[in-house]
Structure formats: structure tokens, C-alpha cells
């Protein structure tokens, strides 16, 4: 897989996901404002990838500062973090990564500014490397849940593209495939931005993992016919009680899965677990531009001009609908998560 995000020649290089699957193009961000815009415009998306990109954005912004004292430097980095924090509200990985960069900055206060700049780049690279390692660990734990011959339904894109590499939900699929299991993925297209059609289908085809694309409203009928054995999705934020925010439409899949007695799994690293948020009711849900709904990917309008539109980008699946959550530390019931991840 081509890297989603990397530090390259003093810039943050992003695979421009808004161009996929037609074009594999890269965007070299040379300042933190361009990084923030890229996150807002979904050129890079997926909770872990957003976190890694924001961390690199902080390192990039810090490098461009010309200040003399630590206090001036720290204030300017705080402002950069604030700018990046305002891009997207739901994926907690963004805030987790920004806090980690701030913490690193605090710990390095005794060093010369030029050295702190260098160490911030290193820390962002560490966040990236850890993300890939956690995804592989999740794959090892989760692969046991997929049996030879099974079909997995997924929603949105929780793959290599949504992370620094390998993927969360698709990392589990990838691990099962690497173990030689003959499995198939059914990918919900994921209206309105079509991450399933554009990204999940593309990335699985790149790896030769069998994938079949369906529209979002086909899942129920296919479950009823016995064609789906399990559901596996990623997460943007998991609250302390195990409620999960993920791409809009995830909740519908979970309710359908329960109605048909099909297991519903979530795969996510600890950077997605937000123990400060008690339940899904407190998770902020991003509202996006109505044009994403009234047209398909910026094409001609498919709705009457001036129609009222709702466009929440995420929904919350209550813990009661989730069979288990796959993490880098193992697979847990949603109710066990807080205890397992409390520091
Ligand atoms: O709006 P997006 O494309 O950033 O939404 C992404 C998702 O909802 C993913 O399922 C989630 O971030 C998990 S990615 C490992």
C-alpha cells in the first residue's frame, strides 16, 4: 500500500484520498494551515490517520517558528494545536495526538528550541509507527473471529487508508486473509461521501482480497438471506461505557445485525478510546455541508434546489449492540473497556 501520510523532505506528504480511486496523487503540505485544510476537506480522513497527520502538522508548524524564548515557542505551538483542533470534532484521535505533542513539548522545555523542533518531528514519527504496530496487533487478536469461508460486512473505510498503515477493521480482515482463510468482504458504499465504494473497495482490490460493493440499503436483505456472517467496523470515538461513534450508517448496520443474530465487532486502538466522555450522548457529531447530500461527489444536484438537508457525518452505536471491541491489547466486551484502559 502507498503510505497515507509521511514526513518527506521537510513536508507532510498525504495521499490525496479525495482523488481516489481515479487518481493516486500526493499533496505535499509545507505549512500547518495546509495540513488543517487537508483534514477538513477529507484529503486525509479516518480517525487514526487524522491523529497522525495532526501530530505531523504540529511538528511542521513548530519548525517554521522564529522565536527566542521557550515561552514564546510554547504559546505559538499551542496556537497551532488550536488551529488543528478546529478541523473535525468527532474523531478523538485528533485531540489525543495534539495533547501528546503538547505533553512532549512540556517535557522538553529545558532543551534548546532547535532541539525541541527536531524532537517534535521524531515524536510525530513515533505516533505513526505505533499506529501501524497497534493495527497489526489488532489484526492478530481479531483474526480468530473470522472463520474460513465467511463474509464480513464493513461500513465506511477503516483500512490502511484510514490509518498510518494496515488498518483497524480491515487490518483484522487482512490478518485473517494472510492466515490463508478464504474470506470475502461486502463493502457498504457509505453515502454521502462514498468511503466504502471509493476507498475500501480500492484498497482491498489492491491487495487482492475479495470484495463486493453494495449500496447501504442492501445490507438488511443480504443478512436475511444468510449472506453475511459478521460485521466489522472501525470507530472515531469510544466512550467510557462502550458506546461507539463511527461513520453515519454504522448504527443502522448494528441494529440490523442484532435483529438477524449476526455478531457486530468494532476494531480500534487505545487512541480512539475516550474515557473522559461517559457515554455516546456526549460525543460531538460533525455536521457537514448539505451539498454532500444534494449531489454525488460534487456532481449535478440530485435534489430540488433549496431542499432542507441533514448531514451528520457520524452516528453513535450503543454498547448493547456491540458484540466485542478488538483492540491492540485483546478483544473485550464494551462494558470491560473502561477497566482495561484506565491508566
Ligand atoms: O469521515 P471519515 O472518512 O473520516 O470517517 C471515517 C470513519 O468513520 C472510520 O470508520 C473511522 O474513522 C475508523 S478508521 C480506522
The 8-class DSSP code of residue 136 comes to H
Answer whether 77's CB lies under 8 Å from 62's CB: yes
Return per-residue pLDDT of the chain as tens, 343 residues: 889 999 999 999 999 999 999 999 999 999 999 999 999 999 999 999 999 999 999 999 999 999 999 999 999 999 999 999 999 999 999 999 999 999 999 999 999 999 999 999 999 999 999 999 999 999 999 999 999 999 999 999 999 999 999 999 999 999 999 999 999 999 999 999 999 999 999 999 999 999 999 999 999 999 999 999 999 999 999 999 999 999 999 999 999 999 999 999 999 999 999 999 999 999 999 999 999 999 999 999 999 999 999 999 999 999 999 999 999 999 999 999 999 998 6
Rounded CA separation 90/162 (Å)? 14
Concerning whether 79 is annotated as a catalytic residue, the answer is: no
Pocket test for ligand 1, best of 195, 237, 283, 316 (most atoms within 8 A of CB): 195
**Does pTM top 0.95 for this prediction?**
yes
- Whether omega before 52 lies within 30 degrees of 0, making that bond cis, reads no
Does ligand 1 come within 6 angstroms of the Cβ of 234?
A: yes
Looking at the structure, tell me whether residues 130 and 31 fall in a common domain: yes
Does ligand 1 come within 6 angstroms of the Cβ of 172?
A: no
Among protein residues, the one whose CA lies closest to atom 6 of ligand 1: 46
Looking at the structure, tell me whether residues 99 and 131 fall in a common domain: yes
For residue 286, the ligand 1 atom closest to its alpha carbon is 1
Pocket test for ligand 1, best of 20, 50, 91 (most atoms within 8 A of CB): 91
Looking at the structure, tell me whether residues 119 and 213 fall in a common domain: no
The 8-class DSSP code of residue 287 comes to B
Does ligand 1 come within 6 angstroms of the Cβ of 184?
A: no
Does ligand 1 come within 6 angstroms of the Cβ of 156?
A: yes
Query: How many independent structural domains does the chain possess?
Result: 2
Here the CATH number for the domain that contains residue 168 is 3.40.50.10470
What is the 21 CA–ligand 1 centroid distance (Å)?
17
| Domain that residue 94 falls in | 5-136
End position of a domain, from candidates 102, 120, 136: 136
Which residues are 156's β-sheet partners? none
Answer whether 199's CB lies under 8 Å from 123's CB: no
Looking at the structure, tell me whether residues 130 and 184 fall in a common domain: no
The enclosing H or E element of 28 equals strand 26-29
For residue 199, the ligand 1 atom closest to its alpha carbon is 3
Amino acid at each position: 500500500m502507498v503510505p497515507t501520510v509521511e514526513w518527506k523532505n521537510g513536508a507532510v506528504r498525504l495521499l490525496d484520498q479525495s482523488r481516489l480511486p481515479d487518481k493516486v496523487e500526493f499533496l505535499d503540505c509545507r505549512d500547518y494551515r495546509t495540513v488543517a485544510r487537508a483534514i477538513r476537506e477529507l484529503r486525509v480522513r479516518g480517525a487514526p490517520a487524522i491523529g497522525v497527520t495532526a501530530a505531523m502538522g504540529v511538528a511542521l508548524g513548530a519548525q517554521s517558528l522564529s522565536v527566542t524564548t521557550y515561552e514564546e515557542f510554547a504559546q505559538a505551538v499551542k496556537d497551532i494545536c488550536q488551529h488543528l483542533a478546529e478541523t473535525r470534532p468527532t474523531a478523538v484521535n485528533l485531540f489525543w495526538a495534539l495533547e501528546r505533542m503538547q505533553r512532549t513539548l512540556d517535557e522538553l522545555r529545558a532543551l534548546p528550541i532547535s532541539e525541541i523542533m527536531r524532537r517534535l518531528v521524531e515524536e510525530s514519527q513515533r505516533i505513526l509507527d505505533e499506529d501501524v504496530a497497534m493495527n497489526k496487533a489488532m489484526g492478530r487478536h481479531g483474526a480468530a473471529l473470522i472463520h474460513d469461508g465467511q463474509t464480513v460486512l464493513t461500513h465506511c473505510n477503516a483500512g490502511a487508508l484510514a490509518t498510518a498503515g494496515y488498518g483497524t477493521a480491515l487490518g483484522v480482515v487482512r490478518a485473517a486473509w494472510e492466515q490463508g482463510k478464504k474470506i470475502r468482504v461486502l463493502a457498504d458504499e457509505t453515502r454521502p461521501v462514498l468511503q466504502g465504494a471509493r476507498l475500501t473497495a480500492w484498497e482491498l482490490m489492491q491487495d487482492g482480497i475479495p470484495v463486493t460493493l453494495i449500496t447501504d440499503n442492501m445490507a438488511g436483505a443480504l443478512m436475511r438471506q444468510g449472506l453475511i456472517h459478521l460485521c466489522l467496523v472501525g470507530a472515531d470515538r469510544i466512550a467510557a461505557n462502550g458506546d461507539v461513534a463511527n461513520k453515519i450508517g454504522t448504527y443502522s448496520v448494528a441494529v440490523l445485525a442484532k435483529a438477524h443474530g449476526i455478531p457486530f465487532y468494532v476494531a480500534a486502538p487505545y487512541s480512539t478510546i475516550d474515557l473522559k466522555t461517559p457515554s455516546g450522548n456526549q460525543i460531538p457529531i460533525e455536521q457537514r455541508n448539505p451539498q454532500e447530500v444534494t449531489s454525488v461527489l460534487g456532481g449535478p444536484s440530485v435534489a430540488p434546489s433549496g431542499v432542507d438537508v441533514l448531514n451528520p457525518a457520524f452516528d453513535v452505536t450503543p454498547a448493547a449492540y456491540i458484540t466485542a471491541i478488538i483492540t491492540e491489547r485483546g478483544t473485550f466486551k464494551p462494558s470491560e473497556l473502561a477497566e482495561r484502559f484506565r491508566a
